[in-house]
Amino acid sequence: MPSPIRSGLVVSPALTIPRAELTERFSRSSGPGGQGVNTTDSRVELSWDVGGSAVLSDVQRDRLLAGLGHRLVDGVLTVAASEHREQRRNREAAAHRLAALVAEAVAPPGPARRATRRTRGSQERRLTTKKQRSTTKRLRSSRPSRDD
What does each of the 148 residues of the chain score in pLDDT, given as a tens digit? Answer: 444 556 788 888 888 888 888 888 888 777 666 666 566 778 889 999 888 888 888 888 888 888 888 888 888 889 999 888 888 899 999 999 999 999 998 888 889 999 999 999 999 999 999 999 999 999 998 666 565 4
Cβ pair 4, 98 in contact under 8 A: no
Phi-psi region of 74 (alpha: psi -120 to 50; beta: other; left: phi over 0): left
Query: Residue 8: enclosing H or E segment and its boundaries?
Result: strand 8-12
Domain ranges of the chain: 8-106
CA atoms within 13 A on the CB side of 34: 2
Q: Burial code of 70-88, b = ≥16 C-beta within 10 A, e = fewer?
A: eebeeeebebbbbebbebe
Q: Helices marked H in 1-148 — which ranges?
A: 58-68, 87-106, 120-142
3-state secondary structure 60-84: HHHHHHHHHCCCCECCEEEEEECCC
Domain 8-106 part of CATH 3.30.160.20: yes
Phi-psi region of 31 (alpha: psi -120 to 50; beta: other; left: phi over 0): left
d(CA 62, CA 111): 19
